A and B are shown apart, each in its own frame.
Chain A
Amino acid sequence: QLQLQESGPGLVKPSETLSLTCSVSGGSITSSSYYWGWVRQPPGKGLEWIGTIYYTVNTNYNPSLRGRGTISVDTSKNQISLKLSSVTAADTAVYYCRLHVSLLENAFDIWGQGTVVTVSS
């Protein structure tokens, strides 16, 4: 069973770039059935999809990010990364790494435990 662990700086200054890493253990991250993504949750609010990467290079992002997000896969390190540029206080949230597995017979998710990111000077 794959396990996901997010890591990154807990505090980022406004206008800087937030960089997070999702380290995957228990198996390879490459499969045509895998859809890797990031989801965030601002304090006291609901879940917000950030973006997805599949087939290692295809990406989709939430339009509300206005082009600030980049998700990539490093197969040599078994990691998925998220970069979010020009951050503001509105980007303060718990950030989750999520794997959606879509098989012929079923589909399921695996989530990391989340990492707290605060944007503040």
Chain B
Amino acid sequence: QSVLTQPPSASGTPGQRVTISCSGSSSNIGSNSVYWYQQLPAAAPKLLISRSNQRPSGVPDRFSGSKSGTSASLAISGLRSEDEADYYCATWDGSFSGPWVFGGGTKLTVL
């Protein structure tokens, strides 16, 4: 059972906009920035969104993040086949530099 709750699966057709939710509590998402990772098959996770809504260099602007209260969302617009992957949210539980927690992951399928 993960500290952060994500739907196990999501799907969309090419060109569509999909969102993935991440629910936590006041001690984690409610108090800290949220990070989103994309993990392609047999690859290391790649940071997509940092500090809840910032895109690291090289991440397409099709990916966006938001946070409200104890929940966060990752939105992917203009869905592409190469977006099919596992997506994880993460943040600290408690203070910055404290325990780091991940969501259980969402498998995104592009139909």
A-side residues, CB < 8 A to B, are: 35, 37, 39, 46-49, 52, 54, 58, 60, 62-63, 96, 102, 106-109, 111-114
Contact = CB atoms under 8 A, between A and B. Distances in A.
> Binding site of A, secondary structure by majority: helix, strand, loop or mixed?
strand
A52 B97 CA distance: 8
B98 interface: yes
Interface in B21-74: 33, 35, 37, 39, 44-47, 50-51, 54, 56-57
Interface string B82-111: 000010101000001111111111000000
B2 A58 contact: no
A38 B103 CA distance: 16
Nearest to A108: B56
A20 to B, nearest CB: 15
Interface residues of B, number: 27
Nearest to A102: B96
B59 to A, nearest CB: 10
Contacts of A111: 44-46
Contacts of A49: 90, 99-102
Contacts of A108: 47, 50, 56-57
Given A52-B97, A60-B97, A107-B51, A46 B44 contact: no
A54 B102 contact: no
B99 A62 contact: yes
A52 B88 CA distance: 19
Given A106-B51, A113-B44, A48 B97 contact: no
Contacts of B39: 47
Nearest to B106: A46
Nearest to B97: A54
Contacts of A39: 45, 102
B54 to A, nearest CB: 6
